[in-house]
Amino acid sequence: MYKRLVIKVGTNVLTRADGRLDVTSISGLVDQIAALKQRGVELVLVSSGAVGAGRELLPERPDDGAVAQRQMYSAIGQVRLMELYRQLFAGHRLLCAQVLATKGDFRDDLHYDNMLNCFRALLVDEIVPVVNENDVVAVTELMFTDNDELAGLVARMLKADALVILSSVEGLYDGPPDGADSRLISFVDPADRDSDRVVQARKSSGGRGGMATKLRIARETAAAGIPVLIGNGRRPGILHQLVKGGWPGTVVGGAGNSQRP
């Protein structure tokens, strides 16, 4: 049984086809996270969706692709997203907390130690940290590739037992996920590079990264002894499989790490 998990949820799990927040999907994930908490699992949630939440509140602008526009959407969307998480977790008598980070926070020793101490305190008090990139202040050299990279860094910082990455597909495929001949890759040995040639680099419609990015982050995380489980966040009860066993997606191998910071 896992004792400490980092769970990353992608934009396409949290939003509908029109880009608005999918409250039903988010509520279902919170229910599953609460069930894990009841089993005594320490858990950190890395959540996308702030920019989508911002677009829900503010009409589209002509320069929607501009950096300043994305920053504005993120700034107002974080409030909407966190309020939704607060309400949903409160329904399970749980508190959540917002943690915003840039890549620079993992490079600076003082920032790193301060963030680690914050995570420690939140987990001791059984509060669910909800982590996202600080889009408002991040510039190009301090931006993560996407939240998969952020989740991998958090998992290594906390020496998690596993990193779970939830997207809108079942896992890694040896071709396009919607291709008739494509097959799910159920296990990837971090030392085996063959999967690099077949995993698609195509990005999802709502995120910055893609499956190739997920595989790279998963390899780096698994190399630190932390297995990575990639799965479909829209599959009903996906997180319950962490208790039942038999992960329905892709596992990128790793022995796990029972140490604690």
Contact 127, 85 (CB under 8 A): no
Contact 145, 208 (CB under 8 A): yes
Cα of 9 vs its chain's centroid, Å: 4
Q: Is 117 annotated as a binding residue?
A: no
* HEC assignment per residue over 126-184: CCEEEEEECCCCCCHHHCCCCHHHHHHHHHHHHCCCEEEEEECCCCCECCCCCCCCCCE
Q: Is 105 annotated as a binding residue?
A: no
Q: Is 167 annotated as a binding residue?
A: no
Whole-angstrom distance, CA of residue 82 vs CA of residue 147: 16
Whole-angstrom distance, CA of residue 69 vs CA of residue 13: 23
Taking the alpha carbons at both ends of the chain, their separation in whole angstroms is 19
H-type helices in the chain, by residue range? Answer: 11-14, 23-38, 50-57, 67-90, 104-107, 109-124, 147-158, 211-223, 241-244
Whole-angstrom distance, CA of residue 50 vs CA of residue 45: 14
Q: Is 147 annotated as a binding residue?
A: yes
Numbered residues of the known binding site for substrate: 48, 135, 147
Point out the annotated binding site for ATP: 8
Which residues are documented as binding site? 8, 48, 135, 147
